Protein backbone atom coordinates (compact mmCIF):
# COMPACT_ATOMS: atom_id res chain seq x y z
CA UNK A 1 0.00 0.00 0.00
CA UNK A 2 1.45 3.37 -1.00
CA UNK A 3 0.11 5.17 2.08
CA UNK A 4 1.39 2.46 4.35
CA UNK A 5 4.87 2.33 2.84
CA UNK A 6 5.18 6.09 3.20
CA UNK A 7 4.28 6.26 6.87
CA UNK A 8 4.79 2.79 8.37
CA UNK A 9 8.10 1.87 9.99
CA UNK A 10 8.78 -1.91 9.80
CA UNK A 11 8.71 -3.48 13.27
CA UNK A 12 12.39 -4.54 13.26
CA UNK A 13 13.40 -0.85 13.33
CA UNK A 14 13.03 1.58 16.22
CA UNK A 15 12.98 4.66 14.05
CA UNK A 16 13.10 5.88 10.44
CA UNK A 17 16.71 7.03 10.97
CA UNK A 18 17.71 3.51 12.07
CA UNK A 19 15.97 2.01 9.02
CA UNK A 20 17.81 4.43 6.71
CA UNK A 21 21.14 3.60 8.32
CA UNK A 22 20.48 -0.15 7.91
CA UNK A 23 19.60 0.44 4.24
CA UNK A 24 22.82 2.40 3.72
CA UNK A 25 24.88 -0.35 5.39
CA UNK A 26 23.19 -2.98 3.21
CA UNK A 27 23.86 -1.25 -0.11
CA UNK A 28 27.45 -0.38 0.88
CA UNK A 29 28.07 -4.06 1.75
CA UNK A 30 26.79 -5.00 -1.70
CA UNK A 31 28.93 -2.28 -3.33
CA UNK A 32 32.03 -3.62 -1.52
CA UNK A 33 31.48 -6.99 -3.18
CA UNK A 34 31.00 -5.16 -6.49
CA UNK A 35 34.38 -3.44 -6.04
CA UNK A 36 35.98 -6.90 -5.87
CA UNK A 37 33.84 -8.14 -8.79
CA UNK A 38 35.21 -5.41 -11.07
CA UNK A 39 38.53 -5.55 -9.16
CA UNK A 40 39.28 -9.03 -10.55
CA UNK A 41 38.99 -7.76 -14.13
CA UNK A 42 40.91 -4.56 -13.39
CA UNK A 43 43.68 -6.57 -11.72
CA UNK A 44 43.93 -8.93 -14.74
CA UNK A 45 44.09 -5.89 -17.00
CA UNK A 46 46.84 -4.31 -14.86
CA UNK A 47 48.99 -7.46 -14.80
CA UNK A 48 48.77 -7.93 -18.58
CA UNK A 49 49.28 -4.27 -19.28
CA UNK A 50 52.57 -4.32 -17.35
CA UNK A 51 53.63 -7.37 -19.39
CA UNK A 52 52.34 -6.29 -22.83
CA UNK A 53 52.38 -2.49 -22.83
CA UNK A 54 52.97 -2.00 -26.57
CA UNK A 55 50.11 -4.25 -27.65
CA UNK A 56 47.74 -2.62 -25.15
CA UNK A 57 48.66 0.87 -26.39
CA UNK A 58 48.12 -0.30 -29.96
CA UNK A 59 44.70 -1.77 -29.12
CA UNK A 60 43.71 1.40 -27.25
CA UNK A 61 44.67 3.58 -30.24
CA UNK A 62 42.01 1.72 -32.30
CA UNK A 63 39.18 2.70 -29.91
CA UNK A 64 37.03 5.80 -30.37
CA UNK A 65 38.49 8.36 -27.96
CA UNK A 66 35.70 10.89 -28.59
CA UNK A 67 32.97 8.31 -27.82
CA UNK A 68 34.70 7.31 -24.56
CA UNK A 69 35.11 10.97 -23.56
CA UNK A 70 31.52 11.88 -24.49
CA UNK A 71 30.22 8.89 -22.54
CA UNK A 72 32.21 9.95 -19.45
CA UNK A 73 30.63 13.41 -19.71
CA UNK A 74 27.15 11.88 -20.12
CA UNK A 75 27.58 9.59 -17.11
CA UNK A 76 28.97 12.33 -14.82
CA UNK A 77 25.96 14.47 -15.79
CA UNK A 78 23.56 11.62 -15.00
CA UNK A 79 25.23 11.32 -11.58
CA UNK A 80 24.53 15.02 -10.92
CA UNK A 81 20.85 14.47 -11.78
CA UNK A 82 20.73 11.41 -9.50
CA UNK A 83 22.22 13.44 -6.62
CA UNK A 84 19.64 16.19 -7.33
CA UNK A 85 16.85 13.57 -7.32
CA UNK A 86 17.89 12.42 -3.82
CA UNK A 87 18.21 16.06 -2.73
CA UNK A 88 14.69 16.88 -4.02
CA UNK A 89 12.92 14.05 -2.21
CA UNK A 90 14.81 14.88 0.99
CA UNK A 91 12.95 18.20 0.68
CA UNK A 92 9.70 16.29 -0.05
CA UNK A 93 9.46 17.62 -3.62
CA UNK A 94 7.95 14.73 -5.62
CA UNK A 95 7.63 16.69 -8.85
CA UNK A 96 11.34 17.50 -8.93
CA UNK A 97 12.14 13.90 -7.95
CA UNK A 98 10.23 12.63 -11.01
CA UNK A 99 11.91 15.18 -13.27
CA UNK A 100 15.44 14.36 -12.09
CA UNK A 101 14.80 10.59 -12.23
CA UNK A 102 13.65 11.01 -15.85
CA UNK A 103 16.79 13.06 -16.66
CA UNK A 104 19.05 10.47 -14.98
CA UNK A 105 17.36 7.73 -17.02
CA UNK A 106 17.66 9.72 -20.26
CA UNK A 107 21.40 10.30 -19.81
CA UNK A 108 21.95 6.67 -18.74
CA UNK A 109 20.10 5.45 -21.84
CA UNK A 110 22.13 7.87 -24.01
CA UNK A 111 25.32 6.34 -22.56
CA UNK A 112 24.17 2.82 -23.46
CA UNK A 113 23.02 3.91 -26.93
CA UNK A 114 26.40 5.49 -27.68
CA UNK A 115 28.14 2.41 -26.30
CA UNK A 116 26.14 0.18 -28.66
CA UNK A 117 27.06 2.43 -31.61
CA UNK A 118 30.70 2.10 -30.56
CA UNK A 119 30.42 -1.71 -30.41
CA UNK A 120 28.98 -1.64 -33.93
CA UNK A 121 31.88 0.52 -35.18
CA UNK A 122 34.34 -1.84 -33.42
CA UNK A 123 32.68 -4.78 -35.17
CA UNK A 124 32.89 -3.06 -38.55
CA UNK A 125 36.61 -2.46 -38.00
CA UNK A 126 37.19 -6.16 -37.18
CA UNK A 127 38.19 -5.52 -33.57
CA UNK A 128 36.02 -8.17 -31.86
CA UNK A 129 38.13 -11.09 -30.52
CA UNK A 130 36.91 -14.59 -31.52
CA UNK A 131 34.24 -13.05 -33.78
CA UNK A 132 35.97 -11.12 -36.53
CA UNK A 133 39.34 -10.00 -35.15
CA UNK A 134 41.77 -9.07 -37.94
CA UNK A 135 45.39 -9.52 -36.76
CA UNK A 136 46.80 -7.79 -39.87
CA UNK A 137 45.76 -4.40 -38.37
CA UNK A 138 48.31 -4.76 -35.57
CA UNK A 139 52.07 -4.97 -35.00
CA UNK A 140 51.42 -6.94 -31.78
CA UNK A 141 48.24 -8.87 -32.66
CA UNK A 142 48.24 -11.28 -29.71
CA UNK A 143 48.55 -8.69 -26.96
CA UNK A 144 46.24 -6.25 -28.83
CA UNK A 145 43.63 -9.02 -28.99
CA UNK A 146 44.06 -9.63 -25.25
CA UNK A 147 43.50 -5.89 -24.65
CA UNK A 148 40.35 -5.92 -26.81
CA UNK A 149 39.06 -9.01 -25.01
CA UNK A 150 39.44 -7.18 -21.68
CA UNK A 151 37.89 -4.05 -23.23
CA UNK A 152 34.75 -5.95 -24.22
CA UNK A 153 34.60 -7.89 -20.93
CA UNK A 154 34.93 -4.77 -18.75
CA UNK A 155 32.68 -2.45 -20.77
CA UNK A 156 30.18 -5.32 -21.24
CA UNK A 157 29.99 -5.98 -17.51
CA UNK A 158 29.64 -2.24 -16.95
CA UNK A 159 26.85 -2.06 -19.55
CA UNK A 160 24.99 -4.89 -17.75
CA UNK A 161 25.23 -2.83 -14.54
CA UNK A 162 23.94 0.22 -16.40
CA UNK A 163 20.97 -1.80 -17.69
CA UNK A 164 20.14 -2.94 -14.15
CA UNK A 165 20.47 0.68 -13.00
CA UNK A 166 18.03 1.83 -15.70
CA UNK A 167 15.56 -0.88 -14.57
CA UNK A 168 15.90 0.33 -10.97
CA UNK A 169 15.32 3.94 -12.11
CA UNK A 170 12.17 2.85 -13.96
CA UNK A 171 10.94 1.14 -10.77
CA UNK A 172 11.63 4.32 -8.76
CA UNK A 173 9.88 6.48 -11.35
CA UNK A 174 6.74 4.28 -11.27
CA UNK A 175 6.69 4.45 -7.46
CA UNK A 176 7.30 8.20 -7.54
CA UNK A 177 4.31 8.61 -9.89
CA UNK A 178 2.23 6.71 -7.30
CA UNK A 179 3.45 9.22 -4.69
CA UNK A 180 5.12 6.41 -2.70
CA UNK A 181 7.98 8.61 -1.52
CA UNK A 182 8.01 11.55 0.85
CA UNK A 183 10.35 13.67 2.94
CA UNK A 184 10.03 11.03 5.70
CA UNK A 185 10.33 7.91 3.49
CA UNK A 186 12.69 7.87 0.51
CA UNK A 187 15.26 5.19 1.33
CA UNK A 188 14.87 3.32 -2.01
CA UNK A 189 15.77 6.51 -3.90
CA UNK A 190 18.96 6.88 -1.89
CA UNK A 191 19.88 3.17 -2.26
CA UNK A 192 19.46 3.23 -6.06
CA UNK A 193 21.35 6.54 -6.09
CA UNK A 194 24.33 4.95 -4.33
CA UNK A 195 24.32 2.09 -6.87
CA UNK A 196 24.12 4.56 -9.79
CA UNK A 197 27.06 6.62 -8.48
CA UNK A 198 29.08 3.43 -8.01
CA UNK A 199 28.54 2.43 -11.65
CA UNK A 200 29.65 5.96 -12.60
CA UNK A 201 32.85 5.57 -10.54
CA UNK A 202 33.66 2.27 -12.30
CA UNK A 203 33.49 4.10 -15.64
CA UNK A 204 35.66 6.95 -14.27
CA UNK A 205 38.44 4.34 -13.90
CA UNK A 206 37.68 2.39 -17.10
CA UNK A 207 37.86 5.53 -19.26
CA UNK A 208 41.61 6.29 -18.88
CA UNK A 209 42.47 2.57 -18.66
CA UNK A 210 40.89 1.80 -22.04
CA UNK A 211 41.00 5.02 -24.07
CA UNK A 212 44.11 6.83 -22.87
CA UNK A 213 47.03 4.43 -23.05
CA UNK A 214 50.05 6.30 -24.32
CA UNK A 215 52.58 4.43 -26.37
CA UNK B 1 21.15 9.54 7.73
CA UNK B 2 19.22 12.49 9.18
CA UNK B 3 17.87 14.60 6.31
CA UNK B 4 19.38 17.82 7.64
CA UNK B 5 22.91 16.45 7.24
CA UNK B 6 23.52 16.51 3.49
CA UNK B 7 25.26 18.58 0.83
CA UNK B 8 23.61 21.84 -0.22
CA UNK B 9 22.28 22.05 -3.75
CA UNK B 10 24.96 24.52 -4.85
CA UNK B 11 27.63 22.13 -3.48
CA UNK B 12 26.29 19.46 -5.88
CA UNK B 13 26.66 21.86 -8.84
CA UNK B 14 30.15 22.85 -7.69
CA UNK B 15 31.20 19.18 -7.47
CA UNK B 16 29.76 18.53 -10.95
CA UNK B 17 31.76 21.42 -12.46
CA UNK B 18 34.89 20.13 -10.69
CA UNK B 19 34.26 16.65 -12.17
CA UNK B 20 33.94 18.08 -15.69
CA UNK B 21 37.17 20.09 -15.26
CA UNK B 22 38.91 16.90 -14.08
CA UNK B 23 37.50 15.04 -17.12
CA UNK B 24 38.94 17.72 -19.43
CA UNK B 25 42.30 17.45 -17.61
CA UNK B 26 42.26 13.64 -18.07
CA UNK B 27 41.45 13.91 -21.79
CA UNK B 28 44.01 16.67 -22.47
CA UNK B 29 46.64 15.08 -20.20
CA UNK B 30 46.30 11.81 -22.14
CA UNK B 31 47.50 13.58 -25.30
CA UNK B 32 50.40 15.49 -23.74
CA UNK B 33 53.95 14.42 -24.72
CA UNK B 34 55.00 12.73 -21.47
CA UNK B 35 56.44 9.37 -20.48
CA UNK B 36 54.10 6.36 -20.21
CA UNK B 37 54.53 6.22 -16.42
CA UNK B 38 53.80 9.96 -16.02
CA UNK B 39 50.62 9.48 -18.08
CA UNK B 40 49.47 6.58 -15.94
CA UNK B 41 50.19 8.41 -12.67
CA UNK B 42 48.32 11.52 -13.90
CA UNK B 43 45.31 9.56 -15.18
CA UNK B 44 45.10 7.40 -12.05
CA UNK B 45 45.53 10.41 -9.73
CA UNK B 46 42.70 12.30 -11.47
CA UNK B 47 40.46 9.20 -11.36
CA UNK B 48 41.04 8.88 -7.60
CA UNK B 49 40.19 12.60 -7.17
CA UNK B 50 36.96 12.12 -9.17
CA UNK B 51 36.07 9.05 -7.09
CA UNK B 52 36.65 10.99 -3.84
CA UNK B 53 34.34 13.83 -4.98
CA UNK B 54 31.58 11.39 -5.99
CA UNK B 55 31.91 9.18 -2.88
CA UNK B 56 32.12 11.96 -0.28
CA UNK B 57 29.55 14.41 -1.71
CA UNK B 58 27.25 12.71 -4.28
CA UNK B 59 27.14 9.50 -2.20
CA UNK B 60 27.06 11.57 1.01
CA UNK B 61 29.74 9.52 2.82
CA UNK B 62 31.07 12.82 4.21
CA UNK B 63 27.76 13.19 6.07
CA UNK B 64 27.37 9.51 7.06
CA UNK B 65 28.02 7.88 10.43
CA UNK B 66 31.29 6.09 11.21
CA UNK B 67 29.95 2.58 10.67
CA UNK B 68 28.71 3.41 7.14
CA UNK B 69 32.12 4.91 6.33
CA UNK B 70 33.84 1.72 7.51
CA UNK B 71 31.60 -0.40 5.27
CA UNK B 72 32.18 1.98 2.35
CA UNK B 73 35.97 1.73 2.78
CA UNK B 74 36.09 -2.06 3.32
CA UNK B 75 35.91 -2.92 -0.39
CA UNK B 76 38.80 -0.58 -1.21
CA UNK B 77 40.96 -2.10 1.55
CA UNK B 78 40.43 -5.60 0.12
CA UNK B 79 41.07 -4.32 -3.41
CA UNK B 80 44.35 -2.79 -2.23
CA UNK B 81 45.41 -6.14 -0.67
CA UNK B 82 44.37 -7.92 -3.88
CA UNK B 83 46.70 -5.68 -5.94
CA UNK B 84 49.50 -5.63 -3.36
CA UNK B 85 49.79 -9.42 -3.08
CA UNK B 86 49.40 -10.06 -6.83
CA UNK B 87 51.97 -7.48 -7.89
CA UNK B 88 54.41 -8.49 -5.15
CA UNK B 89 54.48 -11.78 -7.08
CA UNK B 90 54.40 -10.60 -10.72
CA UNK B 91 56.81 -7.68 -10.37
CA UNK B 92 59.44 -9.70 -8.48
CA UNK B 93 59.49 -12.87 -10.63
CA UNK B 94 62.55 -11.74 -12.59
CA UNK B 95 64.54 -10.65 -9.54
CA UNK B 96 67.81 -12.53 -8.98
CA UNK B 97 69.52 -12.61 -5.61
For position A195, which CATH number holds?
1.20.120.80
Query: What's the number of domains chain B is made of?
Result: 1
Residue B42 placed within a domain = yes
Q: Which DSSP state fits B8?
A: -
Q: Does residue A8 lie within any of the structural domains? A: no
Q: pLDDT category, A47, cuts 50, 70, 90? A: very high
Any CB–CB contact under 8 A between B77 and chain A?
Answer: no
**Residue B80 sits in which domain range?**
9-92
B85 vs A: CB within 8 A: no
Q: How confident is the model at residue B4 (pLDDT cuts 50, 70, 90)?
A: low
pLDDT single digits (tens) A163-214: 999 999 999 999 999 999 999 999 999 999 999 999 999 999 999 999 998 7
Interface contact flag, A205 B78, Cβ < 8 Å: no
The number of domains in chain A is: 1
In a domain, A128, yes or no: yes
Any domain includes A7 = no
Interface predicted TM-score (ipTM) of this complex, two decimals:
0.92
Give the whole-angstrom CA distance, residue A207 versus residue A152: 13
Range of the domain at A195: 13-212
Per-residue pLDDT at B94: 86
Answer yes or no: is A102 within a domain. Answer: yes
Contact A205, B47 (CB under 8 A): yes
User: Would B97 be classed as within a structural domain?
Assistant: no
What's the pLDDT band for A215 if we cut at 50, 70, 90?
low
Mean pLDDT estimate for chain A: 94
The C-alpha atoms of residue A93 and residue A95 are separated, in whole angstroms, by 6
Give every CB contact of residue A162 below 8 A, 6+ residues apart in sequence. Answer: A108, A111, A112, A199
- Non-local CB neighbours of A109 within 8 Å, separated by 6+ positions: A166
**A3: in domain:** no
Per-residue pLDDT tens digits for A29-43: 999 999 999 999 999
Nearest CA in chain A to B52: A201
pTM of the model: 0.93
B68 vs A35: CB contact, 8 Å cut-off? no
Domain-embedded: residue A191: yes
Q: Do the domain assignments include residue B44?
A: yes
Amino acid sequence: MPEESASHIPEQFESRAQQEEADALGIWTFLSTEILFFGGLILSYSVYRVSYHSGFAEGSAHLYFWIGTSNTFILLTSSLFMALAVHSIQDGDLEKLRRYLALTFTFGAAFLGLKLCEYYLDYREHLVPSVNFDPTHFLHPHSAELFLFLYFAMTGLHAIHMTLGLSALTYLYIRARRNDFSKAYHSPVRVVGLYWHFVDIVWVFLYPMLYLINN
Amino acid sequence: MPSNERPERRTLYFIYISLIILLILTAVGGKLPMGALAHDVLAFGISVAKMALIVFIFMEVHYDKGIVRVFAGAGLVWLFLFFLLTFSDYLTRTWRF
